[in-house]
């Protein structure tokens, strides 16, 4: 098996993805529907195991790496500069994501001539928390309950305070600081083990998606798919690539080559949270981002940086207007962009979570609840195909911002960045 492990991980993951598509389509075409679905369900189990293994370590990874990353800074003041720079960069890139999304929606006209009469309405959750409730939930009443429930914003808030507390404790906090550093390193090593299952997990996940949704579903929404994929690709190449090449003056190709692993995992899992362990590993080992920055900026980005989601919501808003004939004024475009940016922050890093925020964006130009339900019902069956690409965009943005902050804070090893990736 030495030859297998000698192949770079991203190539093995890509091979699993391609073979999964071929297998899924072949099964759906040459087997009876019931037998094909039964077989695909069995294959999907491998992907489910892989996802569960990654999700198993996400919460402890975020908690330990955040505390260890803040402790490694050595100065509480440094946390403020890193946090402010990261947050402003995330807002900056989201602004361009909005522009590109609206541009793609205008260029491709994905809703023009689409008949939604056959779509089955999908009712949204009426008990969604208000903005005030979401802000209050950041502060956990019980941090241990937040850890158990996987409430990422609450976990991040508590970890930030604990890290600052250990810094302020100075000598008294050294033993605990070393404990969290050792714990973070141990969990990262667990990530290495779990990622060896990635090619097989990706095969199972993609085979199920390809076999159950098929090419016909993909072609039925070709214009919308092209708008999202082209928009996300342009955003990654122009905005993130421009940040790395023009502003940071680092090799454009080396950046994307260094994050191929998390990009592949993000595309197959459609979950930025599930990809986080791989993202941290790639940023540290392939891009040279020191653990103090990778451990603090990347978990924050996985929670608040949703450029792909913001871009996507803008496109789908225009899709809705075009499909139902709503007339949009210039102020509507501004409000769509603003609302999409705001609701995308803190979106759950799980598949299709952003689709259910669409109702908030569509309220900007008074879309009726019936039309909103029809649009969501129409998109939902194949949203996974769109979610794959916007998750790749989110993860790429996280690493670009982490690289920028590390460069400005003197926490970037450029020799590692310019070297060939370890896997």
236 within 8 A of 97, measured Cβ to Cβ: no
More confident residue, 237 or 338: 237
pLDDT band at 354 (very low <50, low <70, confident <90, very high): low
CA distance 316 to 351: 17
**Residue 135 binned pLDDT confidence (cut-offs 50, 70, 90):** low
β-partners of residue 412 are 289
The residue assigned the tokens 């001539």 is: 113
CB 277 within 8 A of CB 58: yes
pLDDT digits (tens, 9 = 90+) for 266-288: 887 777 777 888 898 899 999 99
Q: How confident is the model at residue 228 (pLDDT cuts 50, 70, 90)?
A: very high
- Can you say whether the dihedral through the CA atoms of 195, 178, 143, 282 is positive or negative? negative
Tell me the three state secondary structure of residue 371.
Answer: helix
Using pLDDT thresholds of 50, 70 and 90, give the confidence band for residue 351: very low
Least confident piece of the model among 51-65, 144-158, 255-269, 350-364: 350-364
Residue 67: pLDDT above 80?
yes
In this structure, what token pair is assigned to residue 139?
Answer: 């502060």
CA 369 to mean position of chain CA atoms: 28
What is the DSSP track for 146-195? Answer: HHHHT-HHHHHHHHHHHHHHHHHHGGGGHHHHHHHHHHHHHHHHHHHHHH
- pLDDT, tens digit (0-9, with 9 covering 90-100), for 147-159: 887 776 688 788 8
- Which residue blocks in 74-173 are alpha helix, DSSP H? 76-108, 131-136, 143-149, 152-169
Q: At which residue do the structure tokens 């075409």 appear? A: 29
Q: Which residues are within 8 A (CB) of 101 and not within 5 positions of it... i.e. 6 or more apart?
A: 231, 310, 311, 312, 313, 314, 315, 337, 340
Percentage of the residues of the chain whose pLDDT score is greater than 90: 19
pLDDT single digits (tens) 182-223: 888 888 788 778 878 878 888 888 888 778 766 655 555 788
Q: How long is the chain?
A: 423
What domains appear along the chain, each with residue ranges and CATH number? 2-418 (1.10.3860.10)
């Amino acid at each position: 098996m030495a030859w297998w492990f000698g192949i770079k991980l991203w190539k093995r993951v890509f091979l699993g993805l391609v073979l999964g598509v071929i297998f899924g389509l072949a099964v759906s075409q040459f087997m009876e529907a019931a037998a094909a679905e039964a077989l695909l369900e069995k294959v999907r189990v491998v992907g489910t195991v892989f996802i569960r293994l990654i999700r198993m370590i996400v919460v402890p990874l975020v908690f330990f790496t955040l505390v260890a990353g803040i402790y490694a800074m050595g100065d509480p003041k440094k946390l403020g500069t890193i946090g402010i720079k990261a947050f402003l960069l995330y807002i900056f890139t989201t602004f361009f994501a909005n522009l590109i999304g609206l541009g793609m929606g205008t260029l491709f006209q994905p809703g023009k001539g689409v008949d939604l009469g056959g779509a089955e309405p999908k009712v949204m959750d009426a008990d969604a928390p208000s903005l005030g409730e979401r802000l209050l939930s950041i502060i956990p009443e019980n941090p241990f309950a937040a850890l158990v429930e996987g409430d990422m914003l609450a976990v991040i808030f508590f970890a930030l305070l604990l890290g600052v507390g250990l810094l302020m404790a100075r000598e008294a906090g050294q033993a605990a600081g070393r404990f969290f550093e050792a714990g973070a390193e141990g969990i990262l090593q667990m990530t290495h083990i779990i990622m060896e299952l990635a090619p097989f997990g990706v095969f199972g996940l993609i085979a199920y998606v390809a076999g159950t949704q098929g090419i016909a579903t993909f072609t039925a929404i070709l214009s919308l798919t092209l708008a999202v994929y082209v928009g996300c690709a342009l955003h990654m190449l122009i905005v993130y690539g421009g940040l790395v090449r023009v502003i940071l003056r680092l090799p454009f190709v080396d950046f994307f080559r260094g994050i191929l692993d998390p990009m592949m995992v993000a595309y197959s899992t459609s979950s930025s949270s599930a990809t986080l362990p791989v993202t941290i590993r790639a940023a540290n080992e392939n891009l040279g981002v020191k653990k103090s920055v990778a451990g603090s900026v990347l978990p924050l980005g996985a929670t608040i940086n949703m450029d792909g989601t913001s871009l996507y919501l803008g496109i789908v808003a225009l899709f809705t207007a075009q499909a139902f004939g709503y007339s949009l004024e210039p102020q509507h475009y501004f409000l769509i962009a603003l609302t999409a940016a705001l609701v995308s922050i803190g979106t759950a890093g799980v598949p299709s979570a952003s689709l259910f925020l669409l109702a908030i964006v569509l309220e900007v130009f008074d879309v009726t609840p019936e039309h909103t339900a029809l649009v969501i019902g129409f998109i939902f069956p194949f949203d996974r195909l769109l979610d794959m690409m916007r998750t790749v965009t989110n993860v790429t943005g996280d690493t670009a911002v982490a690289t920028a902050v590390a460069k400005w804070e003197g926490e970037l090893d450029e020799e590692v960045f310019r070297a060939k990736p370890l896997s």
